Structures are given as structure tokens and as C-alpha cells.
Structure 1
Amino acid sequence: MTRIISEGARRQSHAPDRPEGVNYPDRGATRRRPLPDGYHHLHHRVLIGRGRAAFETAGAAVTTFRLHRATGMRVRAEHGAVRPGGRVEVGIGFGPLRIDAPCEVIWTAYEPARVGFAYGTLDGHPECGEEAFLVELAADGSVWFSVTAFSRPAAWYTRLAGPLVPVLQRGYARLLGRGLRALVARG
């Protein structure tokens, strides 16, 4: 497994103002609002279906990483379903161009009308920040999927990519929404 880790990311791992584990100081900020300053913010919300069955299918796909895998990401997780403190590694690419992005599950929601989680970046991730994936069942029966994130570059190559990174992140959030809609339609 190849990991691309910059010297800056290694030095950053000893910052005293960061919560243990994650490589940024704003742990849990996707659960509370507003998102912290100094990061790129992402908010994407899409209708994926209607009814309790759609909600349950979508919630299971999100919290077991089935959705991430369905979009072509390689996921290695400590547990079958997300739980706070669980470690996850999401990988994309092939051979020497593979990027593995280590994360930790920060919070989960297993509620009657809201299911999902957020993970935060760990040292070795090309970004630093947090991303939340939520499925919500509205009072009218509509089922919504949202991705909320804040991030900034943590590696030389994401700094070099500059404004391209947020465009790729938005594209990935849209891909997740389309993928979840397809998984729900299949049941």
C-alpha cells in the first residue's frame, strides 16, 4: 500500500491544540454549526426517494460504507457499521498513484428520522477536516441525503491542486447522491 505523506503533515501531527487523533482542531464541527472559518465548506443535499423503506435502505448503505464502495472507492473499516472512534481508510487510484486517506469516525446518528456519521481526517490524509454523510426522513415522507464538509489541504499535492480540490469534492458529493439514489431504487 502506497501512502503519500508530506513532511508538513508529519510535523503537523504534534500540534498541541488538536484533539487526539485527528489532524485538525475543530473535531465535531459538522454536527454543530456554523462550520469553522479557514476551511473550504461543502454543502450538498439531494432527494433520493420516498418512504420508510427508502430511508432504511439509504441509512444502511451509508453507515456500512456500501455507498462509498458502490462509487468505486476502496474502504477498509474496523467495524461493519460506523461507530465513534472507529478507524476507516478510504482509497482511490491504482498502484503507485493510489492515495489512501485515513479517517476516524467522529460521531454517528442512528435516530428514527436521521441516520449517518461524520469522519475526520488523520495524519497521512491529503486534506484536514471533517465530512458528514446524513440520510433524513422528512415529515412528508421524502428522503434526503446530504454531505457537509470542511477541509483544507494537508499535503503538498493538494496544496498544488489548489482550486481543483473543492471542484473534485463537489463532484464526489454529487456522485454519492446519484449512487445512493440508485441503491435505493434497487432496494
Structure 2
Amino acid sequence: MTEEPLTYPEVGCTSGELPAGYHHVRESAVVGLGRAEFSTAADTVMSWGMHRRAGLRVRSAAETAVAGQDATFGFGPVSIPVRVVYVVDEPDRRGFAYGTRRGHPECGEESFIVTFDEVSKQVRLDITAFSKPGTWWVRLGAPIGRLVQKWVTRRYIRAVIVKDFTL
């Protein structure tokens, strides 16, 4: 069986310079404070908890994000197939990125990286994405699609915020 290709050629670019010709998203928010809250936030991201808490259905053979693993999100009647393209597992950085598969309404990649700053003790969630319409109906509704993307990104951030933290 041959692995189905992703729907874009710039695989892994959310870890560096974003490619031209796409809509870019770079969002960052403090979601906790301290090493324990870093672990909690990172576990929420890595276990698909962020997506579930944001209101998406998640289908994946793996309980946590694993490079090369396919997953499918559901939102209402929309099916959103992705593949994890890389995982970050460092002492102060954890997260992953996924890319779009055939059937996804858009083409591109999105990463979710939780970082811990040893000096400030802040825990941040960094969301980076590049995308463009993958279907005629998304192209037609591109302005609405960007609003939906902003709305979902905010939901992701709220889903990872460790409750009751204060700066």
C-alpha cells in the first residue's frame, strides 16, 4: 500500500520560513505559568485534547500525535483529513504539525508548539499555519474561511489555557 501524498509540497515549513502563495497565521498566547502547567498544556496538545476541547471530533489510531500518523477531524458535516508531519519533543518545547490530505477543504500545514521559558516561567502556545483553499467552495467563500480559521485558532488557544493561572 502506498502512502497517499499530502496536498501541498512544502512539508515541514511551519518550523521555519512560511512559503509564499499561502495565507499565513502566527498566533502566540500565554496559556500557563510554571513547569507543571507546561506539562499539562503540552499533554493537552499532544493527546488531541486541544482539538476535542475546541469542538472537533477526532479519529486517530494513536492516542497522541505521532509523526506519519493520519487523523481525521470532524466539524458538523465537514471531514478534515490530516497527517502528522513532525513532532517536537524537547525539554522546553513540545508539539506537532499536521498537513492536509486529500479531502481537506484547504491545502497547507499547521503547527501547535507549547514552549516553557525558564526565566519568566511562562508557558506559551504558538500556532503557525500556511494555507490556501483546497476546494472550489472554500475558494468561493475565502473571506468566511479566514474568519472561521481565526475563530478556530482562538478556540484552540482557549482549549489549552491551564485553568486558574495568573501572570
- TM-score of the aligned structures, taking structure 1 as reference length: 0.83
**Tell me, what secondary structure is at the counterpart of 2:13?**
coil
Q: 1:57 aligns with which of 40, 49, 53?
A: 40
* % identity of equivalent residues: 39
Cα deviation digits, residues 96-124 of structure 1 (max 9, x gap): xx011110000001110000000000011
- 1:29 alignment partner AA: C
- 1:24 alignment partner AA: Y
- 2:150 alignment partner AA: R
Shift of 1:186: 6.9
Is 1:101 the counterpart of 2:80? The answer is yes
For 1:102-117, list aligned pairs within 5 A.
Answer: 102-117=81-96
Is 1:160 the counterpart of 2:140? The answer is yes
Q: 1:178 aligns with which of 158, 161, 164?
A: 158
Distance 1:77 1:186, change over 3 A: farther
What is residue 11 of structure 2 aligned with on the other side?
Answer: 27
What is residue 79 of structure 1 aligned with on the other side?
Answer: 62
What is residue 118 of structure 1 aligned with on the other side?
Answer: 97
- TM-score of the aligned structures, taking structure 2 as reference length: 0.93
Root-mean-square deviation (CA, aligned residues, Å) is 1.5
Which one has the bigger strand percentage?
Answer: 2
Aligned residues: 162
How far apart in 2 are the matches of 1:179 and 1:48?
9
What is residue 10 of structure 1 aligned with on the other side?
Answer: none
How far apart in 1 are the matches of 2:111 and 2:53?
18
Distance 1:20 1:36, change over 3 A: farther
Shift of 1:78: 1.8
**Tell me, what secondary structure is at the counterpart of 2:66?**
coil
- The question of whether the paired residues in 2 share the 8 Å contact of 1:44 and 1:170 is answered with no
How far apart in 2 are the matches of 1:24 and 1:67?
24
